[in-house]
Amino acid sequence: MTSIAKPPVKHPTARTNGRGLTLRDYEGAMSTLCAGCGHDSVTAALVQAAWELEIEPHRAAKMSGIGCSSKTTAYFMKQSHGFNSVHGRMPSVTSGAAAANKGLTYIGISGDGDSLSIGLGQLSHAIRRNVNMLYVIENNGVYGLTKGQFSASADIGSTSKKGEANEQAPIDPVLLALTLGCTFVARSFSGDKQQLVPILKAAIAHKGLALVDVISPCVSFNDHEGSTKSYAYTREHEVEAVHADFIPLKREITVPETGEEVRVVEMHDGARVRLRSTATDYDPTNRESAYAHVRACQARHEIATGLLFVDENGRDMHDYLKTVPTPLVDLPFEALCPGKDALGKLMDRYR
Ligand SMILES: Cc1ncc(C[n+]2csc(CCOP(=O)(O)OP(=O)(O)O)c2C)c(N)n1
Ligand code: SF4
């Protein structure tokens, strides 16, 4: 992927995190996306989240497929590992990488085209395996990179720039993820950094696949009147059911009390997510009510955002596979390949 490096200039008074790194240290190459593209705001939120979580850049791997959205991985955490796969294959490549090395933080970035058409099977099985990763879909309702054809997330009646209306039913990644048993499901908006950053932090801390669908408008092909993925439409129709505050393990709880009902979900590393319900009777730990809420919002032409569902007790891919605690990549050759005799005994069990 071609990219333009940013000049390595740091302001002497720039704030550092616990690892002595500034926000600039979590940035990547200069973006070549269109000015105003929602994807660049998602990049800024990812930079902020990774800086606040104090992730060691060399302990993270950024994974992507093909699309303007998939170029996002070039624009943050320049010192991290990265793999730009072929179209729609990001989930499978990440599953393989995570199987070999469970010691890295996996950040997968995809688009609605990349994930909901050619990559739909890959996404479904990564959810089913509960691969330990953040899975961001930068959702703009079109194939931006190939000049704005409707994607599978386009709503019925949403119009193209030339005025043609989409007639086919959309695939909603949030409903799909809830149906497939995903253990962390959220939706946000690239124009709402205040909501997006804590969601990304909680998603990264989650053990298992955390799907974050981000409405991320394409200013060149899908930001006009008649589009249901424009900045204006999303701002007008966004309904946040549950607001998440992420509190890392070592920090004191300083989030002000609001008088609203607060639920605390403890993440597997001891960090906590405080969920403040802004809608009455909404339970973000109940899959059925999350599904019903998203469907009801759809029927009212509203966009359900916030942390919609979380289950911290789910097993992830390594639990299912019963792998040893040490990442496979760190095991000595003798442990990975126990020799002909051991292999022979193993084969005998299947005869
Ligand atoms: C195998 C294959 N088929 C088709 C394409 C053409 N193609 C490139 S990007 C893309 C879709 C991009 O849409 P999306 O993932 O939503 O990303 P966006 O550009 O909108 O951010 C398609 C169909 C391709 N690169 N490879
Ligand atoms: S074409 Fe659309 S999705 Fe691609 S960079 Fe431009 S605004 Fe973003």
Cα(136) to centroid(ligand 2), Å: 16
Question: Token pair for residue 288?
Answer: 């059925």
Cβ atoms of 307 and 202 within 8 Å: the answer is yes
Q: If you measure from the C-alpha of residue 145 to the centroid of ligand 2, how many angstroms do you get, rounded to a whole number?
A: 7
**So what's the pLDDT on residue 41?**
98
Q: Are 114 and 90 in contact (CB under 8 A)?
A: yes
Q: Of all atoms in ligand 1, which is nearest to the CA of residue 65?
A: 15
Q: Please indicate whether residue 113, judged by its CB atom, sits closer than 6 Å to ligand 1.
A: yes
Pocket test residue of 66, 219, 230 for ligand 1, highest count of atoms within 8 A of CB: 66
210, 133 Cβ separation under 8 angstroms = yes
Q: What is the pLDDT of residues 251-267, one digit of tens each?
A: 554 444 455 566 788 88
Q: Is the dihedral of CA 27, 30, 32, 37 positive or negative?
A: positive
Q: What is the mean pLDDT of each run of 10 residues along the chain (351 residues)?
A: 71 90 96 98 98 97 98 98 98 98 98 98 98 98 98 97 96 98 96 95 96 98 97 94 77 50 77 71 88 92 92 94 95 90 94 92
221 CA closest ligand 2 atom index: 2
- Classify residue 38 as exposed, middle or buried by CB count within 10 Å of its CB (0-12, 13-18, 19+): buried
Per-residue model confidence (pLDDT) at position 277: 61
Contact 127, 190 (CB under 8 A): no
Contact 246, 310 (CB under 8 A): no
How high is the pLDDT of residue 275?
72
CA distance 124 to 102: 20
35 CA distance to ligand 2 centroid (A)?
8
Pocket test for ligand 2, best of 41, 68, 224 (most atoms within 8 A of CB): 68
- The Cα–Cα gap between 312 and 208 comes to 9
- Residues 137 and 215: beta-carbon distance below 8 Å: no
Pocket test for ligand 2, best of 140, 142, 222 (most atoms within 8 A of CB): 140
Which pLDDT value is given to residue 260?
55
pTM above 0.95, yes or no: no
Q: Which amino acid is at 239?
A: V
Q: Give pLDDT, residue 248.
A: 77
Q: Tell me, in angstroms, the distance from the centre of ligand 2 to residue 74's CA.
A: 15
Q: How far does the centroid of ligand 2 lie from the alpha carbon of residue 30, in Å?
A: 15
